[in-house]
Chains A and B, each alone.
Chain A
Amino acid sequence: MKRHVFPGLKIAALFACLLPLQAPAATPKTDLVWGSNLPRALDPHVVYDVPMQFFMLNTYDTLYRYEGNPPRIQPWLAESHTVSADGLTWTFKLKDGVVFHDGRKLTAADVAYSFRRVLTLKLGPASAFSAYLKPEGVTAPDARTVKFVLSVPYAPFLAAVPLIAIVNQAEVKTHESDGDWGSKWLASNEAGSGAYTFDIKTYRPQEIIDLYRFPKHFMGWKDNPNPVEVVRAHTVKETSTRVLALLRGDIDATDSYLPTDQVERLKKAKDVTVAEDESMRTLLIRMNNSRPPFDNLHFRKCLSQAFNYDGFIKVILKGYAVRNPGPIPRNLWGAPADLAGYSFDLKKAKAECDLAKAEGAPIGRKLDIYIMSEFDQSTQTAQVLQADARKIGLDINIVPSTWANLTTMMGKPETTPDMWVHWVSTYFVDPENWIGQMYDSHFHGSWKASSWYTNPKVDSLLAEARRETDQGKRKALYEEASRLVVADAADIWIYNTIQLRGLTNRIKGYRFSPVGSGGEIRWISIQK
């Protein structure tokens, strides 16, 4: 009887039969599966963040490029450059024989078009230039010369040049509509000259990007006998999933922010290594210096000493981070080598708190700390502070939020929260990227300057460092500014990141740089 009654069972049995079929090994020998996060869109002039760096460094070229750790700026598309004595006119000479992926020759006009495009769209990387460079300031006097005329002298200009990908002007222009500079098209396409080309057929936004080696890349491939032919970049969202995928060989590389709890496990595994590289990415707790009780120096000093730096770095992060006591990453010039900063001492913290109280600071109120809930470390940081501050009678309330909401909130001191946790990554390798944009009151209103810290002495030091072209003099200026900001306990600076990336052992020649975090595939060769 049951034979007739339940066709469902037959279907179920059919499904069951299919299950034991092992999926065929999908990865050929010269393919590489990259398991890091992917950019939200593909236009390097619109989006600029860490996932974009991966895409941009592989598919586009730039005038100069950072290589190595600590990063050194190197000529790339440009052969050389000159600066006028007043620091306003910068002239770049291009290399010969560079071709785009469609075979067109790259000329100075493409470079000028790319910079103008960024400066007009005013998105992504534009903020590094908008204060001193107008679109009209970029010209191409001849096919191999690009000239930039700045409106004010700006020493970190060269450091920011590697941000701008050079796009194929002719190709982008054919896809322009309504004066959008082709941004609708470029959001899901690529028009570069980089070492890899992008395949639109298999593209799935934020899910899959397939890259193919570009044999005619201007650098040539002589240095790499076994290059990666195809890069299949897949987003793997959850870190624990990512680790498992690496262990099972589903992917060849994770992102470079492995949770420290997983590192031990990967180190024990046979075919996997963990690349540990100190980067330039600082973690800090921001304090809104304009709002009581954070306007009180004693109170800020109290909180600075109420955070368990060692416990956080040594126990929770298992030592995979380096204490960074000031605003500038300790491995970058401009960070004072002897800066001690603050250390965890609840007794001293309590004493500072009492002083603040005596001065009338309202320390009894509930203090909000905003976190980005998608980052576990951001939560943990807030919780470590919360737990210890409770011991000295401070009531800290954790508010989860998102990057987009937080950056909107930083526009005004009234909407800026009491505290928030964030990282400052390497957008360009110059102290300006950190202390310059974080503590100069000119930048108030941007998320980087969200402490609303005001100190005229610091402002003038930073302004001078911006004008000065001699790096030795600039170093001294930044060191002095750092000491002042730390003495004011403007924020709670915690660590400089050690980037951890899991790699399978087929990967050779992995090169880490804080810019791009080691995602430049052209250096990697595959062991056969």
Chain B
Amino acid sequence: MPVLKRLLKDIPAVMGFLIIAMIILTAIFAWQVAPLPTEVYGSNILERLQPPSPDHLFGTDALGRDIFSRVLVGTRSALTIALSVVILAMAIGVPMGLYAGYASGWAAELVMRLTDIFLAVPQLILALAVAQILSRGLESAMIALAMTYWPFFARTVFAEVQRTKTSLFVEALEGLGASPLRIAVCHLLPNVAAPIIVRATLGMGFTILTSATLGFLGIGATPPSPDWGLMIAESRQYLPESWWYSTFPGLAILVTVLGFNLLGDGLRDIVDPRLRRSR
């Protein structure tokens, strides 16, 4: 696997990979790893707002829950949200991009103009509006994020398909009478897989950030869910005394997003050497 070899040479990318591996493991075994699993949801108001100590590594929150355990369990929701959003956005964006890139005519044109419209407003703003129109809650926030992220996939796929569809092998397949659907799915799609993976990896990090922002604004996750953005929002009125309350969930976001970004950058450098940015 030359790709893997090149990835291993890229120290930042390896760091990103290790961070993500650790986070995924944490997410899977969160309930086993968390030192005080009963204090993730259950309140213990006598021990509220305790500073970090050996009992509570990251201190406790306003309802006396263990912030360390909540941050660990929070990886689950963060990853679930990000993964669902990215997959949903992919499920919409990739077929759209394939269609618009390969077919031509007014419908294909319409798809691309649609992406223009969606991209005409910064993603967070549009997601806020969409989430607000749907009822509140995690599901609507996720749908809103996917609704506003798919154009990025559509664009990526569109550009790649445009590039490959004029290549010889596609013309040969057309000559052989392969159906357009078959060409698109069996031959073009594998060719655009790499940029999609890169986009998805970077999208994971981005989605974690955006969904945390939605949570912070009270539109995403709902209490008592240990959502990082929500925890930071809850912590605000206890500042600056209870500094730990907002610090650690924020660091969790930072590390996770950093992991995805490092890995995504590394993958992009390999997939598209023209775009080598960081070296």
- CB contacts (< 8 Å) of B45 on chain A: these are 308, 311-312, 315-316, 384
- CB contacts (< 8 Å) of B43 on chain A: these are 383-384, 387
Residue of B nearest to A388 (CB): B43
Complex-state Cα separation, A417 to B49, whole angstroms: 32
Residue of B nearest to A382 (CB): B223
Q: Is the CB of B48 within 8 A of A316?
A: yes
> Hey, what's the 0/1 contact readout for A374-389 against B, CB within 8 Å counting as 1?
1010011011101100
From B93-101, B111-119, B235-243, the one touching the partner chain is B235-243
A388 → chain B closest CB, angstroms: 8
- CB contacts (< 8 Å) of A405 on chain B: these are 136
Complex-state Cα separation, A400 to B137, whole angstroms: 7
Counting contact residues on chain B (CB < 8 A from A), the size range is 20 to 34
> Hey, what's the 0/1 contact readout for B216-247 against A, CB within 8 Å counting as 1?
00110011100000000010111111000000
Complex-state Cα separation, A77 to B137, whole angstroms: 49
Assess whether B63 is interfacial by the CB under 8 Å rule.
yes
Residue of A nearest to B46 (CB): A315
Assess whether B78 is interfacial by the CB under 8 Å rule.
no
- CB contacts (< 8 Å) of A265 on chain B: these are 241
Q: Is the CB of A261 within 8 A of B42?
A: no
Complex-state Cα separation, A81 to B63, whole angstroms: 52
Complex-state Cα separation, A485 to B237, whole angstroms: 36
Q: Is the CB of A387 within 8 A of B222?
A: no
Assess whether B31 is interfacial by the CB under 8 Å rule.
no
Residue of B nearest to A239 (CB): B237
Assess whether B62 is interfacial by the CB under 8 Å rule.
yes
Q: From residue 33 to 49 of chain B, which have CB atoms closer than 8 A to chain A?
A: 41-43, 45-46, 48-49
Question: Which of the listed residues B42, B43, B219, B239 has the most CB atoms from chain A within 10 Å of its own CB?
Answer: B43
- CB contacts (< 8 Å) of A380 on chain B: these are 62-63
Q: Is the CB of A383 within 8 A of B236?
A: no
Q: From residue 241 to 274 of chain B, which have CB atoms closer than 8 A to chain A?
A: 241
On whether A383 and B63 interact (CB within 8 A), knowing A239-B237, A390-B42, the answer reads: yes
- CB contacts (< 8 Å) of A401 on chain B: these are 136
Q: Is the CB of A399 within 8 A of B49?
A: no
Assess whether A398 is interfacial by the CB under 8 Å rule.
yes
On whether A398 and B223 interact (CB within 8 A), knowing A259-B237, A315-B48, the answer reads: yes
- CB contacts (< 8 Å) of B240 on chain A: these are 240, 244
Complex-state Cα separation, A382 to B43, whole angstroms: 12
Kindly identify which residue among B41, B136, B237 contacts A261, using a CB–CB cutoff of 8 Å.
B237
B52 → chain A closest CB, angstroms: 18
Complex-state Cα separation, A160 to B101, whole angstroms: 67
Assess whether A178 is interfacial by the CB under 8 Å rule.
no
- CB contacts (< 8 Å) of B136 on chain A: these are 399-401, 405
B220 → chain A closest CB, angstroms: 9
Residue of A nearest to B242 (CB): A261
B122 → chain A closest CB, angstroms: 22
Residue of B nearest to A261 (CB): B238
Complex-state Cα separation, A308 to B239, whole angstroms: 26
Assess whether A470 is interfacial by the CB under 8 Å rule.
no
Residue of A nearest to B64 (CB): A315
Residue of A nearest to B233 (CB): A373
Complex-state Cα separation, A399 to B42, whole angstroms: 18
- CB contacts (< 8 Å) of B224 on chain A: these are 383, 386-387, 398
Q: Is the CB of A398 within 8 A of B63?
A: no
Complex-state Cα separation, A399 to B136, whole angstroms: 8
Complex-state Cα separation, A400 to B234, whole angstroms: 13
Q: Is the CB of A373 within 8 A of B41?
A: no
- CB contacts (< 8 Å) of B234 on chain A: these are 376, 379
Assess whether A86 is interfacial by the CB under 8 Å rule.
no
Q: Is the CB of B218 within 8 A of A373?
A: yes
Kindly identify which residue among B219, B223, B238 contacts A379, using a CB–CB cutoff of 8 Å.
B223
- CB contacts (< 8 Å) of A223 on chain B: these are none
Q: Is the CB of B237 within 8 A of A240?
A: yes
> Hey, what's the 0/1 contact readout for B136-175 against A, CB within 8 Å counting as 1?
1100000000000000000000000000000000000000
Q: From residue 391 to 449 of chain A, which have CB atoms closer than 8 A to chain B?
A: 397-401, 405
Complex-state Cα separation, A398 to B222, whole angstroms: 6
Q: Is the CB of A238 within 8 A of B223?
A: no
On whether A400 and B41 interact (CB within 8 A), knowing A316-B48, A383-B63, the answer reads: no
- CB contacts (< 8 Å) of A379 on chain B: these are 223, 234
Complex-state Cα separation, A382 to B46, whole angstroms: 17
Residue of A nearest to B224 (CB): A383
> Hey, what's the 0/1 contact readout for B52-88 against A, CB within 8 Å counting as 1?
0000000000110000000000000000000000000
Complex-state Cα separation, A259 to B239, whole angstroms: 12
Residue of B nearest to A311 (CB): B45
Q: From residue 488 to 524 of chain A, which have CB atoms closer than 8 A to chain B?
A: none
Complex-state Cα separation, A76 to B224, whole angstroms: 49
Complex-state Cα separation, A259 to B48, whole angstroms: 15
Q: From residue 193 to 237 of chain B, which have CB atoms closer than 8 A to chain A?
A: 218-219, 222-224, 234, 236-237
A389 → chain B closest CB, angstroms: 11
A364 → chain B closest CB, angstroms: 19
- CB contacts (< 8 Å) of B238 on chain A: these are 240, 261
On whether A261 and B49 interact (CB within 8 A), knowing A239-B237, A240-B238, A398-B223, the answer reads: yes
On whether A238 and B236 interact (CB within 8 A), knowing A315-B46, A400-B223, the answer reads: yes
Kindly identify which residue among A261, A376, A400 contacts B222, using a CB–CB cutoff of 8 Å.
A400
- CB contacts (< 8 Å) of B63 on chain A: these are 316, 380, 383-384, 387
> Hey, what's the 0/1 contact readout for A262-289 against B, CB within 8 Å counting as 1?
1001000000000000000000000000
Complex-state Cα separation, A238 to B232, whole angstroms: 13
Q: Is the CB of A387 within 8 A of B223?
A: no
Q: From residue 234 to 263 of chain A, which have CB atoms closer than 8 A to chain B?
A: 238-240, 244, 259, 261-262
> Hey, what's the 0/1 contact readout for A343-379 against B, CB within 8 Å counting as 1?
0000000000000000000000000000101101001
On whether A240 and B42 interact (CB within 8 A), knowing A383-B63, A399-B137, the answer reads: no
- CB contacts (< 8 Å) of A390 on chain B: these are 41-42
Q: From residue 7 to 47 of chain B, which have CB atoms closer than 8 A to chain A?
A: 41-43, 45-46
Complex-state Cα separation, A238 to B238, whole angstroms: 11
Q: Is the CB of A383 within 8 A of B48?
A: no
- CB contacts (< 8 Å) of A261 on chain B: these are 49, 62, 237-238, 241
A423 → chain B closest CB, angstroms: 17
Q: From residue 203 to 243 of chain A, which have CB atoms closer than 8 A to chain B?
A: 238-240
- CB contacts (< 8 Å) of B219 on chain A: these are 400
**Can you name 25 A-B pairs with beta carbons within 8 Å?**
A239-B237, A244-B240, A261-B49, A261-B62, A261-B238, A262-B237, A265-B241, A308-B45, A315-B48, A316-B63, A373-B218, A374-B218, A376-B237, A384-B45, A384-B63, A386-B224, A387-B42, A387-B224, A398-B223, A399-B137, A400-B218, A400-B219, A400-B222, A401-B136, A405-B136
The 8 closest A-B pairs by CB, nearest first: A373-B218, A387-B43, A315-B45, A240-B239, A398-B223, A240-B237, A239-B237, A259-B237
Interface contacts beyond A316-B48, A376-B237: sample of 5 additional A-B pairs, CB < 8 Å, sorted by A: A238-B236, A261-B62, A316-B45, A383-B224, A387-B43
